[in-house]
Structure 1
Amino acid sequence: MATRDEFFQHIEAGYTTKGDSIILGAAMLDGEAITDAHVKIPLKTLNRHGLIAGATGTGKTKTLQVLAENLSEKGIPVLLMDLKGDLSGLAQPSPGHPKIDERHTKIGLPFEPKAFPVEILSLSKQDGVKLRATVSEFGPVLLSRILDLSDTQEGIVSVVFKYCDDNKLPLLDLKDFKKVLQYATGAGKAEFTKDYGRISSSSTGAILRKIIELEQQGADLFFGEKSFDVEDLTRVDENGRGYINILRLTDIQDRPKLFSTFMLSLLAEIYSTFPEQGDSDRPELILFIDEAHLIFNEASKALLDQIESIVKLIRSKGIGLYFVTQNPTDVPNEVLSQLGLKVQHALRAFTARDRKAIKLTAENYPISDYYDTKEVLTALGIGEALVSALDEKGRPTPLAATLLRAPMSRMDVLTETELNTVIGTSKLVKKYGETIDRESAYEILNEKIELAEAEAEKEKKAPRKTSRSKASTRQNPIIKVLTSATFIRGVLGVLKKVMR
């Protein structure tokens, strides 16, 4: 049986950091917190990604809130995906509570209520900074992945992009893309066939149906201008605190295709834009993806492959991804294996399937001399979690059942008035508030089609010229003979040339 002193030394040795770090809480032994046995996460390893998991009501959202607050205090910007609408309280200080004071006394940390710099973002018609991207910025490969196209269909998408590049047709929104597809098998069929090969109308029809499906989930609001500059996610306020960017997604929970479209485009844009950081002492940006199963459950194999590739590569840009979900099995193993920090709240064993999931979860954590991991997973209380992280050298830290600190900001949503104040004072709302619909492929092709139709109509209405000579040859046999002779000479002349 380990003594409290031995356990304290075990935690101190495993979580000592030379550089800057975040304190999550105090380690627990036999269900009791060991004061000052702080569980620390080095800033240096926060770009190694992470997982916050646990059953409903165990405190996942509050853990996310604590991490976001402490990152902001260290000058590290954060992007939060808020699907339940309960994170806006970060903009107001906590009102405090005797139970919070009691918790922090056990942890050995003072509690100080604070508000944090917050930016409210939106993908839909909700108020906030509008996030948009153009179809051109997506590119043919990413767009094909989102639409889950076949190889043949993906080739057609590439041809469409090439045609638009060659003819200087801006692809800004989905109506631009649909117009080019329709043009390729309609009025512009001959043009496409000549320069790019024949395009099947059945294939373009299938692609159009996929686009309509995406539009029905609200993607028509996302595609367009003014494009969002991902550099605006990395702002700090006048006090050096990183902005906490909260993306409100409460109205798209039933539209996972739009959510995964946005996430993949955002990660791809960040990866292509941000410079390589190498082995940096602190991350550039941390993203928390709440209800992460929405990305993975509806994703095609091609889309999953794309996500897995980006997860593996993006940490070199100083970007950390943190998935928040009820069960670790919601996240594919290929992604799970890339995660450095795991904060596992309680799991409930109501069914045989639950018990199997708990067993699998326990096997993903380091073996501990102080815990029976399977037993602890079902015994954790609200605001308690098993924590496994990486130290500054990239080695796994000791497994620690942890009494987590309380959020410094409000653990509730903003009122309508408070929310309007945050949005009304935002510089980014003004920057991205205007919807721009400049001339693009849709308008240019429509004009081209109209001109062609007008020209065709003009030719159709023009009186046909009837040759007087033809009319007179019927009456004048001499002219008829001369004309025939001329014709025969011409033909014979050709024949002579051929015979020579």
Structure 2
Amino acid sequence: MTSDIFIGGGGEDYATKQYLNIGYANRHGLVAGATGTGKTVTLQILAEGFSAQGVPVFLSDVKGDLSGLAKSGSADHKLHEAFTSRAQKIGFDDYAYAAFPVVFWDLYGKQGHPVRTTVSEMGPLLLAQLLGLSEAQEGILNIAFRVADEDGLPLLDLKDLQALLVWIGENASDLALRYGNVSPASVGAIQRRLLVLENQGAADLFGEPALELTDLMRTDTDGRGMINILAADQLMGAPKLYATFLLWLLSELFEELPEVGDPDKPKLVFFFDEAHLLFDDAPKALVDKVEQVARLIRSKGVGVYFITQNPADVPDDILGQLGNRVQHALRAFTAKDRKELRMAAETYRENPRFSTEEAIREVGVGEAVTSFLQKKGVPGMVERTLIRPPSSQLGPIALPERAMLMANSSMAGKYDTRLDRESAFEMLRARAEKAAAEAAKAEAEAEAAETPTLREFNNARRYAGKGLEQPAPRARRSKPEETFGGAVAQVVIKELKGTTGRRIVRGILGGLFKGR
């Protein structure tokens, strides 16, 4: 049996309890507000509430503060008295300190278990967005994925893609007959972008073993949902990588999970912190796909909650789908700020007791303007709300405590060791070596098969008498097969002409971003 999630106290005396209806939690949500107004604490108490109801959570720890979810709060904390007073004020009678089940993840494998996907699963659309490619460069990337599909070349890590691009650049004229113009300059530009991506640490993201989604959707022995925390403080140094990874993960969930309609509670709640990074400078095609995922993924039982400073950071078509909202204070110092504040206020169902616009501007730290979906999915009336205090520790845990939790985690050892099975890089190299060996053998056999008369004639041609001008030595005929790209060209083009091709299972993103 499930119950709703207590958020805080509303009304003039904060005695009217405000709940998030867990049956509508998969209708998505928004947590917004200026820096320092309490968004992190709201995120923490939402994660606690979902976990207590048996709902797994995925969130990114941008500031490094949320690891405290793994440890119980304490009466020794400097805010203990303030928290206790707030709990009494809002009628939180069963307020108690508690720790929650946490699994730490990290793209770099330092502050959590490694998270990986393959290049094929990422797909050309998201990879092009991550690399910031032009339309022409994105077209070449699509050619690379098509060649890999048709010739059975698994693209697992960055060196696979780099090796395939080398081959494409060396065989641009042959590929142009089939796929259109392939500019070696564009291939070089993609390679340079891949190098920048490597320098940002993206090489750690691509590879195997790849993340299994079921590992994010577990409960502990007490039935509480696991809280999956992605260490993102270092990752924020590469904001495009951060946003693209989260979008990939969201898209994976969309493709993999079955339809469940409207469940009693979500199967997973996904918090997308610093959501503006997803939409800044994003092409319309990508924003449209995000809207499509947000609209449809709720039927898979997944709730998506965007965390950002201003609701204007989220496109209107997506903002309109966010039914559960916690709006912390917005500051209005400029004309633009005032306009955005007014627009934010207009998205709420009005409360006759106060002006929503004024309330958003005036609420203090730890307060918010809230609105949650009620029966039949109707938006609740906006209410000024004092957010309840967290039960877990406010602030990060110590590094030794984090290391101990990682060592005792059920995920320990599963993803720690990188695998490097045969893929495009090794297959192209093997074909090149085989082609070079066959070419050398064929030439040796051809020379051995020459008749004695022909050999004598050739030797006589090479003789130069004393005093005669020595002819220039004959240039040795170049054999393109002896080079890596040339040998691969002979073998791969031959196979491309004679095979129907075997498609690589590109994973979730490959299916998501096909033309619909």
TM-score (norm 1): 0.84
Secondary structure in 2 matching 1:378: helix
Q: Is residue 2:160 matched to residue 1:140? A: no
Q: Does 1:220 align with 2:199?
A: no
On the 8 A contact 1:366/1:399 being kept in 2, the answer is: yes
| Matching of residues 79-478 of structure 1 within 5 Å | 79-96=58-75, 97-110=80-93, 111-186=95-170, 192=175, 199-456=182-439, 463=447, 465=450, 468=453
**Structure of higher CA gyration radius:** 1
* Conserved? CA contact 1:44–1:392, under 8 Å: no
C-alpha separation in 1, matches of 2:318 and 2:411: 33
On the 8 A contact 2:30/2:324 being kept in 1, the answer is: yes
**Which residue number in structure 2 is paired with residue 493 of structure 1?**
none
Kept after mapping to 2: 8 A contact 1:256/1:298: no
Q: Which runs of structure 2 are paired with 1:14-33 in the superposition (5 Å)?
A: 20-29=3-12, 32-33=13-14
Deviations 1:18-38 (A, max 9, x none): 973111111132xx32x2x11
Structure 1 stretches lacking a partner, 5+ long: 1-17, 476-500
CA separation of 1:420/1:369 partners in 2, compared to 1, >3 Å: closer, same or farther?
A: same
User: How far 1:314 sits from its partner (Å)?
Assistant: 1.2
Distance 1:380 1:182 in 2: 58
CA 1:160–1:316: 2 relative to 1, 3 Å: same
- Offset from partner CA, 1:229-267 (integer Å, 9 cap, x none): 011111000000000010001102121111122112101
1:102 Cα offset (Å): 1.2
Following superposition, the deviation at residue 456 of structure 1 comes to 4.5
Q: 1:54–1:325: 8 Å Cα contact kept in structure 2?
A: yes
Q: Which residue of 2 aligns with 1:486?
A: none
Alignment TM-score, normalising by the size of structure 2: 0.82
Q: C-alpha deviations, 1:130-173, integer Å up to 9, x for none? A: 11001122233443444454555444333322322333221101
Match of 2:468 in 1: none
Output the amino acid matched with 2:320.
S
SS in 1 for 2:44: helix
- Higher alpha-carbon deviation: 204-213 or 450-459: 450-459
Question: Partners in 2 of 1:24 and 1:374 — Cα distance?
Answer: 21
Give distance in 1, aligned partners of 2:136 and 2:330: 45
CA displacement at 1:207 relative to structure 2:
2.9
Q: CA deviation at 1:352?
A: 3.2
Using the TM superposition, give the Cα deviation of residue 365 of structure 1 relative to its aligned residue in structure 2, in angstroms.
1.7
Residue type of the alignment partner of 2:360? L
**1:53 matches 2:32:** yes
Q: Answer whether contact 2:126 2:244 (CA < 8 A) is retained.
A: no
In 2: Cα distance, 1:166 partner to 1:214 partner: 26
Alignment check: 8 A CA contact 1:91 1:409 kept: yes
Displacement after TM superposition at 1:295 (Å): 2.1
Partner of 1:484: none
- For residues 399-431 of structure 1, give each alpha carbon's deviation from its aligned partner in whole angstroms, at most 9, with x where no partner exists: 110011100100011011211111110121311
Q: Spell out, residue by residue over 1:350-380, the C-alpha distance to the aligned partner (whole angstroms, 9 max, x if none).
A: 3333323222221222222011112111211
Stretch deviating more after TM superposition (145-154 or 394-403): 145-154
Letter in 1 for 2:68: G
Q: Measured at CA, do residues 421 and 268 of structure 1 come closer, stay the same or move farther in structure 2, by a change above 3 Å?
A: same
Amino acid at match of 1:233: L
Relative to structure 1, the CA distance from residue 300 to residue 466 in structure 2 (aligned partners, 3 Å threshold; closer, same or farther) is: farther
TM superposition shift of 1:57: 1.4
Distance 1:359 1:190, change over 3 A: closer
> What is the CA distance between 1:41 and its match in structure 2?
1.3
Partner SS for 2:31: strand
Contact kept in structure 2, 1:28 and 1:403, CA below 8 Å = no
Alpha-carbon contact 1:75-1:241 (below 8 Å) kept: yes
Other-structure match for 1:40: 19
Structure 2 segments unaligned to the other structure (5+ residues): 461-516
Aligned partner of 1:78 in structure 2 is 57
Amino acid at match of 1:77: P
Q: Distance in 2 between matches of 1:104 and 1:413?
A: 22
Give the 3 Å change call, closer, same or farther, for CA 212–309 of structure 1 in structure 2. farther
RMSD: 2.6
Using the TM superposition, give the Cα deviation of residue 64 of structure 1 relative to its aligned residue in structure 2, in angstroms: 0.5
Letter paired with 1:45: Y
Task: Decide whether the 8 Å contact of 1:121 with 1:131 is kept in 2.
Answer: yes
State how far apart, in whole Å, the 2-side matches of 1:165 and 1:290 are. Answer: 35
How many residues were matched structurally? Answer: 452
How high is the sequence identity, in percent, across the aligned residues?
45
SS at match of 2:64: coil
Judge which range, 367-376 or 85-94, deviates more. 367-376
The 10-residue stretch of structure 1 (360-369 or 270-279) with the greater mean CA deviation from structure 2 = 360-369
**Whole-angstrom distance in 1 between the partners of 2:108 and 2:373:** 37
* Aligned partner letter, 2:197: L
Distance in 2 between residues matched to 1:470 and 1:295, nearest whole Å: 71
Aligned mates of 2:249, 2:232 — CA distance in 1: 15
Retained in 2: the 8 A contact 1:148–1:302? no
Name the SS for the 1:432 alignment partner: coil
SS at match of 2:11: strand
TM-fit CA distance, 1:178: 1.5
Q: In 1, distance between residues paired with 2:339 and 2:454?
A: 96
**Which moves more between the two structures, 95-104 or 222-231?**
95-104
Structure 2 Cα separation of the partners of residues 125 and 231 of structure 1? 19
